[in-house]
Structure 1
Amino acid sequence: MTAAGRLPRVNSSPAWDPAREIVVEPARPEPLYAQVARQLQAAIEDGRLPAGTRLANEIDLAAGLRLSRPTVRQAIQTLVNQGLLVRKRGVGTQVVRTKVARPLRLSSLFDDLAGLGGTPGSAVLVNRLEPAGPDAAARLECPGLGEVRRLRRIRTVDGEPLAVMNNYLPPDLPAPADEELRGHGLYQLLRTAGVRLHSAQQSIGARLATPEDADLLGEQPGAALLTMARTTYDETGRVVEYGWHVYRASRYSFNLSLTNGPA
């Protein structure tokens, strides 16, 4: 191992000319893998390694840096865990797009994505009335409910899948058409229909992707997903929507604003 190594050229699309360097210094207290990860991260964040860039394989990277393959693998895994790189079977390791950071407020994902400068879209998988089982009736806080409108959509941004959205709506609300759901956020459609949204209760969690999740979101089975469940009320206190959604953790995060409470 030498005192310094240089990162070899990166295999990528013809539009990107790499010629970038990473210097590793064994004398530094920072582990070698962390040095590589830190400099790769800087190149991703400042745009030198754009989204979609395909890195050379671990063997070539290790040879070019004069480092062991496990060291390079650990550096790459660090950035995979942070959502900056993704491993794809048959493709290799690629730089992913910057995460969508969404503020927590009473708004739809569609509108938030548009506000962040992305191009949101939706693929409607389910939009129908169906018998309301005990779970749907409980979620809508309406015992004895006979029917429920069930929605299921894939939300995309710039053509890339980001989330799978599931919703229950009371059957007496105006039914949104598939075309409306493809071009608008659900909350916008509810407001247009005269529903006055007032408040919501929301919980956030995480789980691993099932094979079905992975197929819909373009992830690997077992990939990290964020989950969100929300019950939304109108100004009379009636439940007008219950949603349960999963988001790609590699592409999505929630932002929370905290204020200082009383001492």
Structure 2
Amino acid sequence: MISGLQPGTLIPTERSLAEEHRTSRTTVRQAISELVAEGKLGRIQGHGTFVAPPKMTHVRQLTSFSDDAKSQGLRPDSRVVALDVIPAGKDAADSLGLRPGDPVTRLERIRLIEGEPLAHEVAFLPGPLPELGGHLARTGSLYAVLAGVYGRQVAEVEDAVETALAGPVEVRLLGVEMGAPLMVVHRMARDGSGSPVEWTRSTFRGDRFRFVSRVKKGS
């Protein structure tokens, strides 16, 4: 039924669907929950259930979140939650090739697609980056700012992907339900000399995001 409907279209109520298909509301509710988990339906408390927009696809390559979104005709945006220069903890120091306590820039953002939260991202960058917030506000792309303003060109990335379930933080920041499926991507970015440029943990909504890896023989 929903395959021919436009994104945002409200579907009938559980009661009417149960009556139409001569089944129980419990069965209908379970089917709807499965479609929500798959990203085919969306649900807003007090507003009903609707046909979800297409998932954003990330193809494993040397691109940023903004580049991926724009290539699919989607409008990316970001909301900065925190931007600080802090002493590097052990994990950040090990990942970035620094000593514990060395200064790192911590950038925490909510990544948006068409105005809707898609991911919670925390990035660690070596050293202080003066006026980073202002530059990001003008361009939106961290990689573009790193290359154009600070001379840090990303030449290589490594993504490690795992799954998780939404907890209170994701419920609050991403607007998902408790226990909703998430995709967690740990990214290490390096410059042409192999020096670390970025170490990031991004938590994506599983119902709105798809990760694709393409490998050619001999590569």
Same fold (TM over 0.5): yes
Partner secondary structure for residue 155 of structure 2: strand
> CA separation of 1:176/1:253 partners in 2, compared to 1, >3 Å: closer, same or farther?
farther
The reply to whether residue 256 of structure 1 matches residue 213 of structure 2 is yes
The reply to whether residue 134 of structure 1 matches residue 90 of structure 2 is yes
> CA separation of 1:223/1:78 partners in 2, compared to 1, >3 Å: closer, same or farther?
closer
- Taking only aligned residues, the RMSD between alpha carbons, in angstroms, comes to 1.9
Instruction: Tell me how far apart the structure 1 counterparts of residues 7 and 82 of structure 2 sit (CA, whole Å).
Output: 32
Q: Hey, what does 2:25 align to over in structure 1? A: 69
Of the candidates 163, 181, 203, which is equivalent to residue 136 of structure 2? 181
Gap regions ≥5 residues in structure 2: none
Residue type matched to 1:188 in 2? A
Map 1:168-247 → 2, pairs under 5 A: 168-171=124-127, 174-182=129-137, 183-192=139-148, 193-247=150-204
Gap regions ≥5 residues in structure 1: 1-39
Q: Hey, what does 2:107 align to over in structure 1? A: 151
Q: Which has the higher contact order (CA 8 A, sep 6+)?
A: 2
Instruction: Tell me how far apart the structure 1 counterparts of residues 14 and 66 of structure 2 sit (CA, whole Å).
Output: 38
- Which is higher, the Rg of structure 1 or of structure 2? 1
Question: In 2, are the aligned partners of 1:176 and 1:189 still within 8 Å (CA)?
Answer: no
Instruction: Tell me how far apart the structure 2 counterparts of residues 248 and 226 of structure 1 sit (CA, whole Å).
Output: 6
Equivalences, count: 217
Instruction: Tell me how far apart the structure 2 counterparts of residues 248 and 127 of structure 1 sit (CA, whole Å).
Output: 23
1:216-245 per-residue CA deviation (whole Å, 9 max, x = no partner) reads: 111112111110001111111111110111
Instruction: Tell me how far apart the structure 2 counterparts of residues 207 and 175 of structure 1 sit (CA, whole Å).
Output: 34
Residue 145 (structure 1) shift = 4.7
Residue 200 (structure 1) shift = 2.0
Q: Hey, what does 1:90 align to over in structure 2? A: 46
* Identity, % of aligned positions: 35
Residue 252 (structure 1) shift = 0.6
Instruction: Tell me how far apart the structure 1 counterparts of residues 177 and 152 of structure 2 sit (CA, whole Å).
Output: 39
Partner secondary structure for residue 16 of structure 2: helix
Instruction: Tell me how far apart the structure 2 counterparts of residues 104 and 260 of structure 1 sit (CA, whole Å).
Output: 16
Question: In 2, are the aligned partners of 1:122 and 1:181 still within 8 Å (CA)?
Answer: no
Instruction: Tell me how far apart the structure 2 counterparts of residues 194 and 130 of structure 1 sit (CA, whole Å).
Output: 21
1:69-92 per-residue CA deviation (whole Å, 9 max, x = no partner) reads: 344334323322321013332222
Question: In 2, are the aligned partners of 1:163 and 1:246 still within 8 Å (CA)?
Answer: yes
> CA separation of 1:212/1:144 partners in 2, compared to 1, >3 Å: closer, same or farther?
closer
Query: What's the TM-score once normalised by structure 2's chain length?
Result: 0.90
Instruction: Tell me how far apart the structure 1 counterparts of residues 190 and 101 of structure 2 sit (CA, whole Å).
Output: 17
Bigger strand share = 2
Instruction: Tell me how far apart the structure 2 counterparts of residues 105 and 221 of structure 1 sit (CA, whole Å).
Output: 31
Residue 95 (structure 1) shift = 1.4
